[in-house]
Chains A and B, each alone.
Chain A
Amino acid sequence: MKLKKSTVNNLISFGIVIIAFIICQTMISTGVMKRSLRGQMIPICVYIVMAVSLNLVVGISGELSLGHAGFMSIGVFSGIIASAWLKGALGLENELIRLILSMIVGGAFAGVFGALIGIPVLRLRGDYLAIVTLAFGEIIRNVLNCLYFSLDGRHLHVSFNNPSIPGTILVNGPNGAKDVDKIATFPVGFVLILFTLFVVLNLINSRSGRAIMAARDNRIAAEAMGINVTKYKMMAFVTAAVLAGMAGALYGMSMATVTAAKFKFDTSILVLVFVVLGGIGNIWGSIIAAALLTVLPELLRAFADYRMLIYAIVLILVMLITNNPTMRALFTKLVPRRGAGQKGGEAL
């Protein structure tokens, strides 16, 4: 039965991620892992979640979104503010609870903005949708550049383009958030990956997921079957935004300083590169691509000036290899085929 097969596939995915986590954790605790690489563990988790969630939009729902970093930045700043407020105003000291609550807040804010942006954006199709998401990503970044947040006792102050607000500054406009409580931990990042996989894989293998893929494969036929295409595209878009917001909150609290400028167009494209290299519509590929390509620049530090050159060459090689028929045949033998239509290639 298909149900069982997809469930088994999902369990295998979870198993592999858990094993990878255990290996990494052992390497960290035994000190085998280099310090520079250890610092990369949370960004890897963040980018895996970003890539998987973007794959939900690009691969599963078939809409090219170029503003995914925008949702991440909303998550970053709302998460940082939530964390500071929980500590300052409510006196919540427990870091783990504070981190999780901040991530939920980050996800919720990103989800709300995802819905607001999705309403106009999902009326468009193809290239136009890509252009408008790109614009919204930039709008989010530029608005965040002008926002100032401060905490005055129990009160949260917000101002637009006006740095003189009472209390301790949390987010200082273009200078971003400084002296952030670094409460993010690798295990929480790992749990976030599991959560993301749980949501995305279960969504794909459900009634809603089939409707999303039907709308991608043939919009006219899907509508003729009574599927409200906009509703399901929105579902994928908002779910991805929520996950990106949660990843952003985690990311924000793993850095001492974050500025909105970090989440420009490049970051959106970087995540898109993970998705494309991992295979559009292939969740498993996104995970591997995100993990490898986040570590790669760090590993290539030895090559100093030639770092980006080699990075580009590696990208091209990966593309050539993954498109090679022999390698593909080998790969499909090794990795069980997922129900999530690996042939979502026509999406782009």
Chain B
Amino acid sequence: MSETTRRRQNTKMVPAPSHGIIPERDLYSSPVLEARHLGIEFGGLKAVEDFNLIIGRTEIAGLIGPNGAGKTTVFNLLTKVYQPTMGSVMLNGHDLNGLNTVQANKLGIARTFQNIRLFDNMTVEDNVRIGLHNQIKYGMFTGICRLPGYWKGEKQQHEKALELLSIFDMQDLAKVRAGSLPYGAQRRLEIVRALATNPSLLLLDEPAAGMNPHETEELMNNIAKIRDQFQIAIMLIEHDMNLVMGVCEGICVLNYGRIIAKGTPDEIQSNPTVIEAYLGKKKEG
């Protein structure tokens, strides 16, 4: 690959924000995430290869591609569930090389899961409190002996949890068992729980899966709202093109583990390579 194409691939995905005007927005300096030549091999099979991406602060980015393209693998690489075999990831200027999932989360990367991974037997509030684990702290001894720090910490966690739940109007469900929530609510709870870890980059793996069109639209508004309220960058994997095209400012298309296109929603929609990847090649003649 020539030096010029490489540089072009590393540049910012989106030239300008398509949603609202945020004064703090910093397009070109200090990106939240920088992935360079990221790749992983599973026994010779290159699941993801030469993945270059820069996500600016408060940017909403989309990662799309046909089934099996390696989208979730990218998320697993960014959150260090898998250790990449090639390339590097920089998060807020920190190299994630050699760190584990816990450390990556502490540096500001949070995620939701494609197949929902809530703590089903705990209440909705407790799920959010687990997200707050590293935000509002007190020690084990304080907890066992019920020292003043315990009551203070529990009170703060309770208030913060309800505040976060109120983003999705879920504060009334705080005492409900998470596993008994309807599917859409479980997805929303996962987002709240991830937000509770105070991330600077939020990764959403198919947030609209299993939602009806009305819920999806609500989710779209909420994603934009979360970005504006928390001033964080969001990257999402989604098959619902209405949501992707509606909310994402930049889109990255993956096929067979390689990036085949990057750009604004309009550019992606008219990109012949993308159309080919999704619909196949038009027969000549």
Tell whether A and B belong to one assembly: yes
Contact with B along A215-231 (1 / 0, CB 8 A): 00110111111111100
Task: Determine the residue in chain B with the shortest Cβ distance to A223.
Answer: B101
Mark each residue of chain B from 116 to 129: 1 if its CB lies under 8 Å from any CB of chain A, else 0: 01111111011001
**Interface bits B121-144 vs A (CB < 8 Å: 1, else 0):** 111011001110110111110011
Which residues of B are found within 8 Å of A207, using beta-carbon distances? 129, 133, 136-138, 143, 153-154, 157
Task: Tell me, in angstroms, the Cα distance from A1 to B151 when the chains sit together.
Answer: 13
Contact partner of A223 among B102, B153, B157, B194, CB < 8 A? B102
Give the 6 A-B residue pairs with the shortest CB-CB distance, closest first. A206-B143, A226-B105, A221-B117, A223-B101, A208-B140, A217-B119
Structural contact, B102 and A226, CB atoms closer than 8 A: yes
Verify if A267 is at the interface (C-beta below 8 Å from B): no
**How many angstroms from the CA of A209 to the CA of B196 in the assembled complex?**
18
A3 interfacial by beta-carbon distance below 8 Å? yes
**A125 on the B face (CB < 8 A):** no
Is B79 a contact of A203 with CB atoms below 8 Å?
Answer: no
Count of chain B residues with a beta carbon within 8 Å of a chain A beta carbon: 43
Which of A203, A217, A218, A235 has the most chain B CB atoms inside 10 A of its CB? A217
Inside 8 A of A203's CB, which chain B residues have their CB?
A: 140, 143-144
- Residue in A221, A228, A344 whose CB lies within 8 Å of B121: A344
CB-CB under 8 A for A224 and B144, given A2-B175, A210-B126, A211-B133: no
Contact A202 B146 (CB under 8 A): yes
Taken residue by residue from 2 to 46, chain B's Cβ proximity to chain A (1 for < 8 Å, 0 otherwise) reads as 000000000000000000000000000000000000000000000
For this complex, 16 residue pairs linking A to B, each with C-beta atoms less than 8 Å apart, are: A1-B158, A198-B144, A199-B144, A202-B143, A202-B145, A207-B133, A210-B130, A214-B133, A220-B81, A220-B101, A223-B101, A224-B110, A224-B194, A225-B196, A226-B133, A227-B130
Contact status B117-A218, CB under 8 Å: yes
Asked if B52 lies at the interface with its beta carbon under 8 angstroms from chain A, I say no
Task: Assess whether B100 is interfacial by the CB under 8 Å rule.
Answer: yes
Residues of A within 8 A of B81 (CB): 220, 224
**Which has the most chain B C-beta neighbours within 10 Å: A213, A224, A344?**
A224
Instruction: Please report B residues at the A interface, Cβ cutoff 8 Å.
Output: 79, 81, 100-102, 105-106, 110-111, 113, 117-123, 125-126, 129-131, 133-134, 136-140, 143-146, 150, 153-154, 157-158, 175, 193-194, 196-197
Q: What are the residues of chain A within 8 A of B119 when measuring CB–CB?
A: 213-214, 217-218, 221-222
Interface contact B102-A206, CB-CB below 8 Å: no
Contact (Cβ within 8 A) A227 B153: no
Residues from chain A with Cβ under 8 Å of B113 in the complex: 220-221, 224
A187 at the interface (CB under 8 A from B): no
Rounded to whole angstroms, the CA-CA distance of A224 and B194 in the bound complex is 8
Contacts of B197 in A (CB 8 A): 225-226
* Bound: A198/B136 CA distance, A: 23
Q: Are A217 and B133 within 8 A (Cβ)?
A: no
Partner of A222, one of B110, B129, B130, B150: B130
Is B150 within 8 A of A206, CB to CB? yes
Q: Which of A's residues lie within 8 Å of B, judged by CB?
A: 1-3, 198-199, 202-203, 206-211, 213-214, 217-218, 220-229, 235, 341, 343-344
B-side contacts of A341, CB under 8 Å: 121-122
Contacts of B196 in A (CB 8 A): 225
Q: Taking each of B123, B125, B131, which has the highest tally of chain A beta carbons within 10 Å of its own beta carbon?
A: B131
CB-CB nearest in chain A for B112: A224
Shortest distance from the beta carbon of A144 to any chain B beta carbon, whole Å: 30
- The residue on A at minimum CB distance from B126 is A210
- Does the CB pair A214–B130 fall under 8 Å? yes
Q: In the docked arrangement, what's the CA distance between A341 and B123, Å?
A: 10
B154/A3 in contact, CB under 8 A: yes
Given A206-B144, A210-B126, A223-B102, residue A217 in contact with residue B121 (CB < 8 A): yes
A contact residues around B145 at 8 Å (CB):
202
CA distance A321 to B100 in the complex (A): 45
A202 touches B102 (CB 8 A): no
| Given A207-B157, A210-B122, also A225-B143 (CB < 8 A) | no
Chain A residues near B144 (CB-CB < 8 A): 198-199, 202-203, 206
State the CA gap A13–B107 with chains docked (Å): 41
Chain A residues positioned under 8 Å from B154 (CB to CB): 3, 206-207
Identify which of B117, B130, B150 contacts A220 (C-beta below 8 A): B117
Closest to B123 in A: A2
B140 to A: closest C-beta gap in Å:
4
Q: What is the CA–CA distance of A228 and B146 in the complex, to the nearest angstrom?
A: 23
Q: In the complex, which of the residues A208, A217, A228 contacts B143, with contact meaning CB atoms closer than 8 Å? A: A208
Kindly identify which residue among A214, A227, A235 contacts B140, using a CB–CB cutoff of 8 Å: A235
**Separation of A213 and B130 alpha carbons in the complex (Å):** 10
Chain B residue at minimal CB-CB distance from A345: B121
Q: Whole-angstrom distance between the alpha carbons of A54 and B275 in the complex?
A: 58
Contacts A202-B143, A344-B121 given; does A223 touch B100 at CB 8 Å: yes
| A2 CA to B157 CA, complexed, in Å | 12
How far apart are the CA atoms of A343 and B180 in the complex, in Å? 13
Contacts of B137 in A (CB 8 A): 207
CB distance from B274 to the nearest CB of A (A): 30
Among A198, A207, A341: residue with most chain B CB under 10 A: A207
Q: Is the CB of A225 within 8 A of B123?
A: no
Say how far A224's CB is from chain B's closest CB, in angstroms.
6
Smallest beta-carbon distance B200→chain A, Å: 13
CA distance A228 to B79 in the complex (A): 15
Q: Given A202-B145, A207-B137, are A225 and B105 neighbors across the interface (CB < 8 Å)?
A: yes
Contacts of A198 in B (CB 8 A): 144
